Chain A
Amino acid sequence: MNYIFFGAFLLLIPILFFSLKKFILKRINLTLKIFSIFLALCFFMRYFATDTSLLENVVGLTYQNPYSTSFECFMVTLLVWLSIASVVILCMLPFFKYKILRNFAKTFCLIVSILNIAFMEQIIYSYTGTYEINLCGAFFAIEVAVSFLYSIYIFATENYFKIPKKELIEMAIALPIVLLLSVPPFVPQALFGNFGSMGTKDLSFYHRLYLYLTFIFLIGMYFLLKRKMKDKEYNRMALLYISLVGLISYCYDYDFARFLEPTRWPLHLCNTAMFIIPICLMFKLEKLFYFTLFINVLGAFLAMLIPNYADASGFFTPSIVRFWTNHSLAFSMPVLIILLGIYERPRLKHFKYSMIGFLIYFLLVLIINAWFTNYDINVDFFFINSDFIADKLGLWAENLRDNFVWSFTISGLTFTFYPLYQFLFFLVYVVLGLGMWFIYAFIFQIQDFYLKLEEKNKKYKLDEHALCVKYGVKGVYEAVNKNSIDKLCVNGVYKQYGNSKYYSAYDVNLEVKAGEIFGFLGPNGAGKSTIIKCIVGIQPPTKGSIEINGYDIEKQPLFAKEQFGFVPDHYALYENLTGREFINYIADLYGVDKKSRDERINKYIKILALEDAFDNKIKTYSHGMKQKVAIISALVHNPKVWILDEPLTGLDPNSIFQVKECMKEHAKNGNIVFFSSHIIDIVEKLCDRISIIKKGRIVASTSLEELKAKKISLEQYYLNIINDDQIGSKAMRVESKKEKEEVPASKFFAKKIKKGSIVKENYTTNEFEVRNKK
């Protein structure tokens, strides 16, 4: 009889389709949506008409009425389960554009529909206990017919079984999750028996197991869906699926008759989450969502800690599975929704919405509890009518509840309230809700940190990969730029500290060749140390590249760092080590062999007159002695490039002379000496070439020979440039609307400033504003 009904419907739909072909083809998406809504209606009509206890008997849960063979029993259990996933997928299909739904529809849903047709009699018998036609059977037959035709349609219009490999992998990952989440509450017990009958309460092992599973679900789903974080619609689809199967699981033992029992209405706080969450996801109701975020999550968490089911309930008892599905989802889903960015993070106004929502809910359940108690004494929504919570809190709470009672009668109905207890209950919940605000703020902080870290990690890996692709695996160990071997090259380096709106170094270009002593001049705060820090790898440049003897400091930091020795502007040594221990430590880091280090250390401690104190702790040294240790540590590995930042500060005249001699000797040996200093005389006598930096930009580069030829002293040249308001500082004042176009600053300043400059200067910080890329 059911097959006749099914067949009739199977014919009716194509007839309807062909008779309205023109209309339907023009509005195919709308038709599919109507089809989906119709399928959902059929499903829920059948679902609420099912006799759950009968179903449990048939699948062998109670061992009372085994109507069927074990194979039939297994197939019924399986199909009841799979049908839920299949129907939800088909219902969601026209509302989302994702391939995964279509792939599931044309494979999984089609197979489930065919199996449903094959076992239709057994399934309907398990739902209704009869083979005769009835409401439940009829709706199931329609549901199967609609599902079958829907799957066939997708199958025919979506390249049949052809699924690209990438989509197949995606399906393979999603399938177990889709199936696992749609398990009806009776299935675990039907499959595995009533494991864990010791009780799932009072933080027993089984209780804790459910708690672990809840957190594993939350964390697992977050990491699974995080990769699609930028595609909010995809995640909305995934979470909508979970919330819908959760809703179906929650409605497991609901039927039409039970809607008439007030105690069974879904008004408990966590029950409300089961329909609020899918509604929020379906209709994008923002204000309602924040109610669930602040109120339901907290309620679900408390309920999971103190569950209100019977003590002896087993781990797989359907009511326990249903309880945990309900509460786990009420707890996890809002958190997942907010962490995956489907709704914006809560602001104060959202918190207000949630509190207004909570007030309305509280007043509603307060009245309903008082009113319906007249008909059913067990009515206790949100546990504010009975002494369930007061009992857990102790005698004081029970006294508080029972000593302040307000009761009155209207039209023969008695309304009883516990004003003080219920007010305090409300107040405590609001305070806890406020606490949730801080917990979320903390979670968001952690999430932001890790997302930022992940972003950087991606960039880091991409850089590594790009280097390998460009130079090959072996090439990574070789100088990336063969043209800059024996050179120190700074190519268009920009440096912006943190979120500052200004550059501290702006388009800096330098090239120092082997055998040169290069002086780097500039007033205090001009950016000398910033450039040096970028060269030695202390600070990464914001833009541009630095090559040391052909090695890129950013891309090949280890090899680049082996090429130079660095003397900072302030000695920074380990004061508790001796001079010898410190130098040996540095030599170890550079892998200097024993013979070479003996030779070099002995040479330099002799030159710098440090022999006597070399085995004393550094903390006993004077300022000059510490500076000498820093100098030796930079030379112990005989670097190709020797970089010194204000190296002569605090040294005695003899040591200054010796350091100068060392610099000359180092350059003479075909190495590079790059040093910054304020002492113009020394720079003039020592250097071959110089560059002057002013407010982050190289404003002049010249050789000392050139200056000599022009008969200008370096001091005069330096002062002219530094004091010339048109160079560097005065030019900044020039502004026009075309400013935002980029012009390399080095060229710009070399020719002095023309009108229509592009760089804005902040006069208080003497830094440059970052230009708009547009």
Chain B
Amino acid sequence: MSKLKTLFLMQVKEKIDFSFLKSKKKTTFKVIFSILGFAVITALAYVVLFLCQYLNLFSAINHIPISVMSVVFFIMFILNLLTCTVGLSKTLYYSKDNQILITYPVNANALFLSKMLVYYIYEVKKNFSFIIPVFFAYGLISSLPFLYFIWFPIMITIFTLIPVLFGAILSFPVYFILRFFNRYPIIKVILLMLILAGVIALVVLAINAIPEDINLIRSWSVVSQAIRNFLSFFSDKFFVFYAITIFLCGRFEGMQSVLFTEYSYIVLLIMLAVILVLIGLNYLISRPLYLKMASKQFEFDSGKTVKRNNVARNGFLSSCINETKKALRDTNVLSTTLATIILAPISILLLNTIYAAINTRMMGEYLAISFNILIILLFALAHNINVSSIYSKDGEAWILNKTKPCRPMELMLPYLCYNFIASTLIVIASTSVFLVSTNLGSGNCVLIFFILLFLVYAHIIWSAEIDFLNPRSIKSQSNVNPNEVKSILLTFAISLLSFGITIFFLLDGMSGVWLKLFFFALAFLVLRCWLFYYKARIMFKEI
């Protein structure tokens, strides 16, 4: 038991950052910020539910039906199950610490159990930061009894065992599928392409299905009826989730909410039985497989070698080519780029099709244009968040660049080459769709393209600057890279500010709006470039 405890503590410290416990001040801050975070999510969920209730979105009377929460619960369960399956297949079979853990003088069962426990704790922690606040908001808006606020967290803590245990069983076939794909990457690519093509086709079909004239006010009764029909369909067909939600939240009898009924005990018993069965299945299937696979090596297959010749190039060009090659050979980077290039224009198309169908006033037109800018920027900037660790991710290789006879800029700019190219493609794709859907004139089109491009480039340069000024080890204990958090904040700040400024300028009248924005964006880019150059020149020596 003590060995299990040691193993558990050792791994849980790796998975969850407990460094704040070392100082009282940090602990206090952490507790305060956690409570604040919980309160903020609860408040946001409350606002959303309040608006739904206020607009009578789900019910004719001022009320949020339990079936709505069962849909929410279902979605969260599916997402949880997916993350658990993928997460556990990595934790159980691909984790590098397996190589060390199996050498320890501990019972193999304890090893497996410790891994599962750590993952379970991690999942419970995740639930406390999302599912519980959302359901608390529901409890507040529906004036559920005080006991609900104790009952729900306890039950959800127990219920979390189901996706974790189920995920552990599913991780077994997933592991084999992943191995298969690793062995035959071409099949993986083809399959991905097929899925992608299918998704695109579906989305385009869905967009085409949008009626040419949407009048929400006129058709509200139809829409509202459709929503209610869907909820009732869900309650019928997905009765299990509906029943679990009632078990967790209670049921309304008249205007009174009743938390416990005889029905609750039956559900509780079934839930416990399911958990027991899943534990048994895990013991029989996942545990032996884990013990077998944990000791396996996952080395790369060198594949077929093609002899090449040496090529002499200009140093800067060579750096640019190599950095682009590195990015293209990284499936994560490439898939993110491809997904953004496809998703951004589709979203723009969807947005504009809906807007075109809605009869809007001038203010609506302005909002539609500004939203287009916002969405393109959000996609394009989010794509470049990885730049905030672009130098750090190379670790010592990046530091060793300092021994090369090159100026700082000659070494730093090539790293951004791929992101510049990919971002340009994303902006071209999204802007083309945006401009085809609106009648802004060719001059304005060119200006909008450059405005977006300048803002995206400025963000890339700013993110890179964050990284070289505060290099963070990729292997750092915490899962959250503070540089990436900064870059995400910049993404939102730049996008929202651009959105706000566009609306402001549009409100003053259409003439000269894009020219003004063009100069703003250009000035911003020039400022960021200058700061990047200035800081790099001075700080490069000290990195």
Contacts and interface: CB of A to CB of B under 8 A. Distances in A.
A626 to B, nearest CB: 11
Interface string A189-217: 00000000000000111001000000000
A572 B402 contact: no
Given A598-B310, A615-B307, A589 B542 contact: no
B224 interface: no
Contact of B305 (A570, A592, A615): A615
A208 B303 CA distance: 63
B319 A537 contact: no
B362 interface: no
Contacts of B404: 561, 586, 589-590
A603 to B, nearest CB: 12
A581 B312 contact: no
Nearest to B541: A540
Interface stretch (A51-59, A452-460, A516-524): A452-460
B508 to A, nearest CB: 5
B315 A589 contact: yes
Given A203-B504, A613-B302, A558 B312 contact: no
Contacts of A584: 310-313, 318
Interface string B286-306: 000000000000011111011
A730 interface: no
Contacts of A612: 305
Nearest to A456: B538
B406 A453 contact: no
B403 interface: yes
A587 interface: yes
B305 A616 contact: yes
Given A576-B329, A616-B305, A558 B406 contact: yes
Contact of A580 (B308, B326, B399): B308
B384 to A, nearest CB: 19
Interface stretch (B139-147, B269-277, B389-397): B389-397
Interface in A113-159: none
B300 A620 contact: yes
B330 interface: yes
A520 B404 CA distance: 23
Contacts of B303: 616, 620
B539 interface: yes
B322 A615 contact: no
A587 B504 contact: no
Which of A204, A557, A574, A589 lies at the interface centre, i.e. has the most chain B CB atoms within 10 A of its CB? A589
Contacts of A613: 302, 305
A454 B252 CA distance: 67
B538 A460 contact: yes
A453 B539 contact: yes
A573 B405 contact: no
Contact of B396 (A572, A601, A620): A572
A264 interface: no
A341 interface: no
A205 B396 contact: no
Contacts of B312: 584, 587-588, 592-594, 597
A576 B305 contact: no
B314 interface: yes
B319 A589 contact: yes
B504 A576 contact: no
A196 to B, nearest CB: 13
Interface string B324-359: 011001100000000000000000000000000000
B104 to A, nearest CB: 25
Contacts of B538: 453, 456-457, 460
A557 B314 CA distance: 20
B326 A574 contact: yes
Contacts of B13: none
A494 to B, nearest CB: 16
Contacts of B326: 574, 576-577
Contacts of B306: 615
Contacts of A558: 405-407
Nearest to A458: B538
Contacts of B302: 613, 616-617, 620
A7 interface: no
Interface string B24-51: 0000000000000000000000000000
A540 to B, nearest CB: 5
Nearest to A590: B405
13 contacts: A453-B538, A536-B403, A540-B541, A558-B405, A572-B396, A573-B397, A584-B312, A585-B318, A589-B404, A613-B305, A615-B307, A617-B329, A619-B300
Q: What 4 A-B pairs are tightest by C-beta distance, nearest first?
A: A572-B396, A588-B318, A561-B405, A572-B397
